[in-house]
Each structure stands twice: as structure tokens, then as C-alpha cells.
Amino acid sequence: MSEELNQHPQQAAVEQGQPAEPQALDATNRLIAHARAEMGKVIAGQSGAIEEVLIAVLCQGHALLEGVPGIAKTLMVKTLGRLLGLGFQRVQATPDLMPADILGTTILRPGSDTFTFHQGPVFTDLLLVDEINRMPPRTQAALLECMEERQVTSDGTRRSLPVWFTVFATQNPVDFEGTYPLPEAQLDRFLLKIRVGYPTEAEELEILLRHHGVSGAGLLDGAEITPIPAGLLTAACAEVRAIRVAPELYSYILALARRTREWPTLLLGASPRAALSLMRMAQAAAAFDGRDYLVPDDVKRAVQPVLRHRVMLKPEAELEGFDADRVLADVVAAVPVPRQ
């Protein structure tokens, strides 16, 4: 890895006798520190998952959370909404859920001959779709326009969704009975796939102590989460988008994405949207390290969360015990890191 790609611009300025620039990423650093402290009041452990749900919001992308029931996926998103001062709605996916149940429907106004549109739960900031793979395909397809264009088209009328509209969808990696696999077009619209695992023994003991005599909802209310100051989230998102990317790293990101399309154990590789998502998450990963510029390790950090749900393994690779994370690790190892 080249010294040029790893050297901080402020350090270079000091070495050349130039005054250092004002501290960059001020809003982002404040938001991250505040979020870790406040969410830690409710969620024991899960630091990696908390970081990635924050990254999804900072990148204004959607996230798919995968984990067994009972590991605080819903509580994490509810806490995030309260922390950021955003609206929250939850949809429980079932096989009989219809598109109108989540998008809204046009109803006849009582005592008149006019119709009015009744908004569905998608008209919110943070939408949690629990067990999304239990939705029938028609209802899954209804989310495509919402996730990509942040709007709902009903009766020929386009209705914009809130600026911070973000979908957090959950799915159980074990129970597949009565489920409908998500189509590739929908998977590609999720910025990240976040794997939420079991807590450690110490973290699980902390959960027992916190919940003694208190319900889950009571824990969130009793924690008295302090919302972030107004405008801080907007400023942090702007700082993340402005993180510098060297030309060599653009080429590195493209090389990783394109290599998946020719990898022998993969049936489907990363799309151009996936390459864009890789850059966006790498920028956020740099911000979490307190840097306003990208290094190759930021890109490597982003590969598995961004690509694990977008690549498709060949059947024979699955039979041999391969999974997406293992294949992606091999791809990262095979692509040369940019050097000076």
C-alpha cells in the first residue's frame, strides 16, 4: 500500500510548513460519538451492527438485517429512529399482505363523492419490514419504486416519500418454510446486508440485568435517549459524500466489482449499482475512522456487507461448502491493492 494513499493531508501540510486545515468531519464525529453512547444505553454489544445501521442512514441507503429472532434487530432500528429524531413505522410481513397495505389506498370520503388517498406505512422516515421474505412477490415488487425513487405512484399520481425514507428489512436465516426468496432486482436495492449475531456471554448477562423487571418497550422509554441536534444528520451526510477518493481507488473499486463477474464459483457478479454502493460505504467507513479521505482498507471493509447479497454462487460451489463471504474474501485477495 503506498505511503501517498495512507498519508493524512493535514500531516503532509505540517511537514511542508503549511498551516493545517480546520478539523474535518466535525458533524460526523459528533454524530457517531453521540450515537454510540445513546444506543449503548439500550443495546448491549452489537457494535458492528450498530455501526452498519448508522452507515446505511449516513449513505441514505437501505439495509437488510439477517439474524435469528430475539437479538434486538427491531429494537435497534426503533432506538436509531428515536436517536435521530425520525419517524418510525413497522410492517409485519405475512403471505397475505397486499401492496395497498404498505403503500396506501384511495378511499371514498364519507358524505361526499370525492376520493382521498390514505397513506400507508411507507410514508415515514425509517420503515422496518419484519421478515420481508414472507411477503408475496407482488407486495415485494411494490417496494421497488419506493426504495429506488423514494416515491409512490398510485392512480397515476406520484407522491414523494420523506427525505430520510430508509428501509430496514429483516429476515431469518434458518426458517424458510412459507417464504418467498427476494428477487435479485430487490436485493440490489439494499445498500448493505448486515449480519446480526448472538451477543457474547458478558453482553447477554448485561441484557438480563437491564431487562430485570422491565419490558423491551419500557427499556427504550426508560433509557431517555437524547436526540441529536437539529441539522447534525444533514451536515454529517454531506461530510461523508465529500470524502476524497483518489483516482487509484476508483480503479480499485471497479476492479473488485468486475472481478466478481468472472469469478469461477459465481453465477452472478456485482452490478454497476453495487460498485457505487461499495464507494459510498467505503466513504462512511473512512468517516468512522476519522478520516476525510479513502484508503484501500476502507474498500476492503465494505466488500462483504455491500456484495454478500448481490452475488450468486453456482450450485456446485454451494455443495462444496462455499458461501458468499468466503468467495468475496478470495476475490479481495486476488485483486492487487493500488500502489504508487
- From 184, 208, 242, give the residue that closes a domain: 242
Nearest to 93 by CA among 126, 62, 128: 128
pLDDT of 91 reads 94
| CATH assignment at residue 228 | 3.40.50.300
The total number of structural domains in the chain stands at: 2
H-assigned helices in the chain: 3-6, 9-15, 26-39, 47-58, 73-84, 99-103, 137-149, 184-187, 201-211, 216-222, 232-241, 247-260, 272-288, 296-307, 315-319, 324-334
pLDDT of 212 reads 75
Q: What confidence tens digit (pLDDT) does each residue in 34-44 have? A: 999 999 888 88
pLDDT of 172 reads 85
56 lies in the same domain as 176: yes
248 lies in the same domain as 233: no
316 lies in the same domain as 288: yes
Domain that holds residue 288: 1-22+243-340
214 lies in the same domain as 100: yes
- Owner of C-alpha cell 437488510: 64
Q: Which three cell numbers stand for residue 83?
A: 436517536
Distance between CA atoms of residues 327 and 309, nearest Å: 12
Q: Do 271 and 185 form a contact (C-beta atoms < 8 A)?
A: no
115 lies in the same domain as 80: yes
The torsion angles phi and psi of 48, rounded to 5 degrees, stand at -65, -45
| CATH assignment at residue 257 | 1.10.8.80
pLDDT of 24 reads 77
pLDDT of 213 reads 67
Q: Residue 199 has what DSSP assignment?
A: P
pLDDT of 238 reads 94
Q: Do 294 and 337 form a contact (C-beta atoms < 8 A)?
A: no
- From 213, 242, 271, give the residue that closes a domain: 242
- From 203, 221, 242, give the residue that closes a domain: 242
pLDDT of 215 reads 62
pLDDT of 22 reads 41
232 lies in the same domain as 336: no
Q: What confidence tens digit (pLDDT) does each residue in 56-92 have? A: 999 999 999 998 888 888 889 999 999 999 999 999 9
301 lies in the same domain as 209: no
35 lies in the same domain as 163: yes
278 lies in the same domain as 292: yes
5 lies in the same domain as 35: no
Nearest to 65 by CA among 90, 87, 40, 100: 90
167 lies in the same domain as 133: yes
pLDDT in tens, the chain (340 residues): 444 455 544 444 434 444 334 457 899 999 999 999 999 888 888 889 999 999 999 999 999 999 888 888 888 999 999 999 999 999 999 999 999 999 998 888 887 778 888 899 999 999 999 999 999 999 998 899 999 999 998 888 899 999 999 999 999 887 777 788 888 888 999 999 999 999 999 999 988 888 776 665 677 777 788 899 989 999 999 999 999 999 999 999 999 999 999 999 999 999 999 999 999 999 999 999 999 999 999 999 999 999 999 999 999 988 888 999 999 999 999 999 987 5
